[in-house]
Amino acid sequence: MAMHPNSIGDTGGAATGDKRVIKKYPNRRLYDTVESKYITLADVRTLVLAGIEFYVKDQKTGEDITRSILLQIITEEEDHGEPLFTTHALLRIIRFYRDAVPGLAGNFIERSLGMLTEQQKLFHTQLNDAVKNNPLTALTEITQRNLEIFKKMQDSLFRAAGMTNPTQSEGEAGKKQE
């Protein structure tokens, strides 16, 4: 079955591979078609955290409104929890809508979040191992690996955008072009 363009999740949904459809009605209520009941944004957040694949459909227009619902969840998290984004970061994101090469900023953020997720998993694994061994050595190694991975990803994105890496010295850039 083809994946809906904005569907999310890592687990493939139900055993049949179907993605869960959440319907939003004009009264602003959300209806989970798998559970056959009305749900809240907190329930949708639980689906996200569980890695369950779904998308949200406006029942009146048929429009996919998954992104709007996810942004509402982020807003609630930012307002009621420990904020993930600083004001400065939010200002930069808003400016990307005006200044960025179309798609480049979004792709960069998506790749960065993917890398961060993988690094977080690796960090937890290595941190558990470090408790058994020398913690300082393990943390130094983790930091070094993270820096190397980030630099490779950054170099790749700069090449894809047709730019040279501004963090390289001019001498390094000249050597690579030769």
DSSP codes of every residue in 83-138: -SS-HHHHHHHHHHHHHSPTTHHHHHHHHHHHHHHHHHHHHHHHHHHHHHS-HHHH
* Whether 173 contacts 165, CB under 8 Å: yes
pLDDT of residue 8: 54
- pLDDT greater at residue 53 or residue 124: 53
pLDDT of residue 104: 81
- pLDDT greater at residue 142 or residue 86: 86
pLDDT above 70 coverage of the chain, percent = 78
Residue 9 pLDDT > 90, yes or no?
no
Query: Which of 54-58, 117-121, 126-130 has the largest mean confidence?
Result: 54-58
Taking the whole predicted model, whether its pTM rises above 0.85 is answered as no
* pLDDT band, residue 165 (cuts 50/70/90): low
Tokens at 146, concatenated: 């993270």
Residue 95 pLDDT > 50, yes or no?
yes
Mean pLDDT confidence for 83-102:
84
Residue type, 135: P
Q: Is 22 exposed, middle or buried (0-12, 13-18, 19+ CB in 10 A)?
A: buried
